Structure formats: C-alpha cells, structure tokens
Amino acid sequence: MECPITQDIMSDPVIAEDGHTYERAAIEEWFKTHDTLPMTNAVVTSKVLIPNISMRRLVEDYRAQQQRAGQ
C-alpha cells in the first residue's frame, strides 16, 4: 500500500508500464526528470498510467479500519 517513491500510503494508486503501482502525483513528478521507471530502471516508452482500483479499495479499507481502531 506504500508508494515505492514516497514510502507513504497511496491515495491515488496507478500502474505504470513496468507493472508496479505508484502514487499518481509521485510518478508524474518522477517522469518530469527521469526517462526510466523507478522500480525497474527500464527506459520509459509510455507514460500512460492506469488507475489501480483494487489497491485503492485496499487503502480505503485499511484507513477505515485504522479509524475504527482509533475510536
């Protein structure tokens, strides 16, 4: 659930062409200064990002569970 770039829990997870999931804002910022992907170091051929709906649901469930535990 943590972004490999920021090490924070993701809120807008997306899948890059390497198959890894990143926080959208973090990977978009990465692409501004890099021509490679952070996890594989592969050269970027496409900057298309696909929403990772399954990961988003996991994060939402995790956050809800944390809120319940904190009450």
- Max alpha carbon distance in the chain (Å)? 47
Residue 46: what pLDDT?
96
Q: Render each residue's pLDDT in the chain as its tens digit; 71 residues.
A: 999 999 999 999 999 999 999 999 999 999 999 999 999 999 999 999 999 999 999 999 999 999 998 76
Identify the H or E element spanning 59: helix 53-70
Residue 19 φ/ψ region, left for φ over 0, alpha for ψ in the -120 to 50 degree band, beta for the rest: left
2: β partners: 9
